[in-house]
Chains A and B, each alone.
Chain A
Amino acid sequence: KNEVEQSPQNLTAQEGEFITINCSYSVGISALHWLQQHPGGGIVSLFMLSSGKKKHGRLIATINIQEKHSSLHITASHPRDSAVYICAVRSPRGGADGLTFGKGTHLIIQP
Chain B
Amino acid sequence: GAVVSQHPSWVICKSGTSVKIECRSLDFQATTMFWYRQFPKQSLMLMATSNEGSKATYEQGVEKDKFLINHASLTLSTLTVTSAHPEDSSFYICSARDYEKLFFGSGTQLSVL
Contact = CB atoms under 8 A, between A and B. Distances in A.
Contacts, number: 53
Contacts of A43: 93, 95, 104, 107
A63 B104 CA distance: 23
29 contacts: A31-B100, A33-B102, A35-B102, A40-B106, A40-B107, A41-B38, A41-B91, A41-B107, A42-B105, A42-B107, A43-B107, A44-B104, A48-B100, A48-B101, A86-B44, A88-B44, A96-B46, A96-B49, A96-B59, A97-B34, A97-B49, A97-B95, A101-B44, A102-B43, A103-B41, A103-B42, A104-B41, A104-B43, A106-B41
A48 B102 CA distance: 9
Interface of A: 31, 33, 35, 40-45, 48, 86, 88, 95-97, 99, 101-104, 106
Interface residues of B, number: 23
Interface of B: 9, 34, 38, 41-44, 46, 49, 57, 59, 91, 93, 95, 100-107, 109
